[in-house]
Structure 1
């Protein structure tokens, strides 16, 4: 039986909140919109059976995981191995004078030299893949984590270049399977729980002449 893992990016957070976690990482709570997103993905996932719910130890992930776990009848487990990569001196808002475009370019290009004191790419990948393969074999596990983590997993599994391959939405679901040394990617950034086309009133669409 394959091991199924649904990686859920945490819901939207309050970017203006500067609080820190016990280990010094930027640790904002969910925003009101984020709480709605977390409830929506929780309701979606509750339609399926899950053996485990895990999350990063950071507040935006744990708050999302708590809603999912409650809806699924599970107890969430926190694991710092699923946390976002550490940016060192640029963690959170970063020091005054840092060029945001330069910061973003280094992240997209996979060159982490712009983050003094931050986590090395090799160390980040090692802990993320160790956490991935540490999910219970043959079980179905939801993991609430971060965009950088999901990108690193996808980069490793798909053999992509050392940079961020995907722009992931808040509460987006990425579904993968592991079986006897092989991996399958079944979904990336699934967000149907946020906007299902069947729930959108027809009045919001523009009418067109029917082509005959």
Structure 2
């Protein structure tokens, strides 16, 4: 899994840089000499810290490999500027605003979570700075605008695979889906699972909702068993 994340980060970094060069021919955002500034925001603290920290480490490794190989644009080095969004959507938006308006980055990497990407993407779109997420799968992410990209599959793909596995391999015909109503990833994935599973002829019980941070699931399990 870690090797996969590192590979994704490397591809995302390369795409972010090439897109920035192609789509911004003016020099208003950054000079044409010195280090190339690439921003990254992630959940270094809070509930999503394990994902954010591993993403940053992977991106730092990618930058190191690129710079050791000679850099970009005839030898210029990439410098990665990192901001912590504290696993909070509002802080994700603030982090990207700072990276673009104060640090003057040419591209932004992150976030893993769809909810925080959806909060930050409008900022990048507004300033016409490419933002690339390595793992935000909610369909609405790239619908924000033409400066928002991803290097992963989307919820309908995941949901279809999960539903087909349950129906064809596990021979399940009646399933329950637990949905975290505070996470766009969970909401989108639930919708896709329901659509595919019922299309195959199976029955999906009404989605059982919960919220991030809930610790007692006894009532939910009782509801599913009823």
Q: TM-score, normalised by structure 1?
A: 0.34
| Rg comparison, structure with higher value | 2
Q: Which has the higher contact order (CA 8 A, sep 6+)?
A: 1
Q: TM-score, normalised by structure 2?
A: 0.33
